[in-house]
Structure 1
Amino acid sequence: MPKGYWIARIDVADLDQYKQYVAANAKPLAAFGGRFLVRAGAFEAPEGSNRSRNVVIEFPSYQAAQDCYRSQAYQAAIQIRQPVSSSDLVIVEGYDGPQPE
């Protein structure tokens, strides 16, 4: 079963309030097996638009990624984040097929 991923790009207007969101999202992410692969850090955007923060979270399955987002605990965390940030988020299924040689 392929893993699931959240890919998010975020601009934060109030870092202190955003830290409250980070604290609030820890429990639901852990409950659904979420693991940060990318959490801000240096980046280059050679094509397209960008935001100031990039995040990639891996889940054990696509279903777990969807369930975490829809969970009551994560929806409560969103209410903390939305007034102080702008974001783009996609939930995607991982790929387990052949790779280029």
Structure 2
Amino acid sequence: MSAYWIAHVTVTDPDAYADYRQAAAGVFERHGGRFLARGGDSAHLEGQDFARHVVIEFPTLDAARACYDSPEYAAARSRRQGACLTQIVIVDGI
């Protein structure tokens, strides 16, 4: 069953965040991740407002968790420290 990585992001340092995006893209792909939404228009309805929203589909919940926990993603994630405000959840599909 598919699982979804949902990230809400407000970028504070576009150059550093671009470096993170480039470093993370291959990690997502190696774990079977496929972008369903990445930025674009959005409508804030409730709760904390973020500027960007990202949804990545993975083949399984285990694959999504393995991606997040991988040393490769940890290295990519370190590139976005101080470059954005982020909230990330992984949810199992139905």
Question: What band does the TM-score fall into relative to the shorter chain?
Answer: over 0.9
TM-score, with structure 2 as normaliser: 0.96
CA offset at residue 27 of structure 1?
Answer: 1.4
Q: RMSD value over aligned CA atoms?
A: 0.8
1:46 aligns with 2:57: no
Q: CA deviation at 1:49?
A: 2.0
Following the alignment from structure 1 to structure 2, what is the Cα–Cα distance between the partners of residues 91 and 29? 13
Deviations 1:55-77 (A, max 9, x none): 00000111100000000100101
Q: How do 1:13-32 residues align onto structure 2 when only pairs under 5 Å count?
A: 13-32=12-31
Secondary structure class of the residue paired with 1:49: coil
Task: State the SS of the aligned residue for 2:18.
Answer: helix
Q: CA deviation at 1:48?
A: 2.0
Structure 1: how far apart are the matches of 2:4 and 2:29?
A: 14
Q: Paired residue for 2:35?
A: 36
- Structure 2: distance between partners of 1:65 and 1:85: 21
Gaps of 5+ in 1: 96-101
Q: Which runs of 4+ in 1 moved over 6 A?
A: none
Tell me which structure has the larger Cα radius of gyration: 1
Aligned length: 94
- Return the alpha-carbon distance in structure 2 between the equivalents of residues 49 and 85 of structure 1: 14
Shift of 1:30: 0.7
Query: Which is further off, 42-51 or 59-68?
Result: 42-51
The match for 1:94 is 93
